[in-house]
Amino acid sequence: MMNLFGKKKKQQDAIEQADQLMNKGLSGLFMKGLVPKEHREQINQSLNSARQAQTAANGGLAMAATAVVISVTDTGKLVNFDPIVVLMLDVTEVNGNRYPKTLETLVSKLQIPRPGDTVGLGSNPVNPSELIYMGLVTV
């Protein structure tokens, strides 16, 4: 049972609780009955992004590339009041390969990247050929 008035849950616990509410048990059935499929898919995609960001924040990923932000576009979607944005990036991999990339990702509202900022990208543990956002890089 969720502890609403006790100690604050760790961020990872919060992500797992959200997954539990969305996809399992009676609350999952309730969500399936009331929330359109496309919205449930967006919520689950956001939960996956939050898991990836948490893994990156815990040092679970090595930086595979850096990228200079070309533009940032707000999608209007939020996860725990943090925005999901579309980043246009100029990526430079550790081996020197350079190319443009568009990435939709969850970012902290306290550290929203701006054009000209450098961000870190890591290899997705589930799909190593895919890059995921790791946050701002201080140069």
Q: Chain-wide mean pLDDT for the chain?
A: 79
Residue-wise pLDDT for 83-127, tens only, equals 999 999 999 998 889 999 999 999 989 899 999 999 999 887 777
Which one-letter amino acid corresponds to residue 82? Answer: D
Q: How far apart are CA 73 and CA 87, in angstroms?
A: 7
Among the listed residues 105, 111, 110, 108, the one whose alpha carbon sits nearest the alpha carbon of residue 89: 105
pLDDT above 90: percentage of residues in the chain: 32
pLDDT at 89: 97
Q: What is the dihedral of CA 66, 53, 124, 23, to 10 degrees?
A: -160
| Residue 139 pLDDT exceeds 70 | no
DSSP-derived secondary structure for 22-42: HHSHHHHHHHHHHS-HHHHHH
Distances, alpha carbon 31 to alpha carbons 43, 45, 84, in Å: 11, 15, 22
DSSP-derived secondary structure for 30-92: HHHHHS-HHHHHHHHHHHHHHHHHHHHHTT-S-EEEEEEEEEEEEEEEEETTEEEEEEEEEEE
